Amino acid sequence: MFEKILTLCTGNICRSPLAEAVLRQRLADRGRTATVASAGTGALVGHAADADTQAIALARGIDLSAHRARQLTPEISRWADIILVMEKHHLEYATHLAPTARGKLFLLGHWSKVEVPDPYRLSQDHHALACDIICAATDDWLARL
C-alpha cells in the first residue's frame, strides 16, 4: 500500500490539485489513510488553484480554496511512494529531475492509457473534461493504491 502519493502536472493550479483532492476524498471514503500532495513541473508557486478548476471541483463537493502551488523538487520526489502524472512529458521531466523516481512514476490515466489534457486558460468545458478524466482515472487506481 502506498502511504505518500504525489500528483503532478505543469502549473500545479488545475489538474494535480484536483487529482490530489479527489484521491484524498476517495481514499478517505474507503477508510484509507494516505498522505496525498501535489506539485508542478513549472509551478506557479504560491498561486491558488485556477478559478475555473475550483468552480468545477466545488460543484462536485471538492473544496480547493486552501491549495497553493508548489514546484516539484528532488526532495518531494524522494518523499513520494508513487507519483501520478497527467501527461507523458511530466514523466520525462520528473525522471530527469530525480532519476531514482523512475520506478514510481506513472500516468494517472495509466490503466485506460489516457493523458489528462491541460485546461489552463481554456473554457469551463475543458476543465470539466479534465475533471471527468481525473475522476475516472482515480477510480482505476483506487484498488491498486
3-state secondary structure of 39: strand
Q: What is the pTM of this model?
A: 0.97
Q: What is the pLDDT of residue 143?
A: 85
Q: Which of 68, 81, 118, 135 is catalytic?
A: 118
Q: Residue 14 has which C-alpha cell?
A: 488545475
Q: What is the CATH number of the domain that holds 63?
A: 3.40.50.2300
> Is 29 an annotated catalytic residue?
no
* First-residue to last-residue Cα distance in the chain: 6
Q: Which three cell numbers stand for residue 63?
A: 473544496
Looking only at the bridges linking them, the beta strands covering 35-40 and 105-107 are unpaired
Identify the active-site residue in 15, 24, 70, 131. 15
Per the structure, the count of domains in the chain is 1
Active site residue 9: yes
- Closest listed residue to residue 20, CA positions, set 78, 82, 74: 82
Per the structure block, which three cell numbers stand in for 119? 485546461
User: 114: closest CA among 93, 82, 141, 96?
Assistant: 141
Known catalytic residue: 26? Answer: no
Please name the amino acid found at residue 17: P
Mind listing the pLDDT tens digit for each residue in 41-99?
A: 999 999 999 999 999 999 999 999 999 999 999 999 999 999 999 999 999 999 999 99
Q: What residues make up the domain containing 135?
A: 4-142
Phi, psi of 121 (to 5 degrees): 65, 20
Average pLDDT, the chain: 97
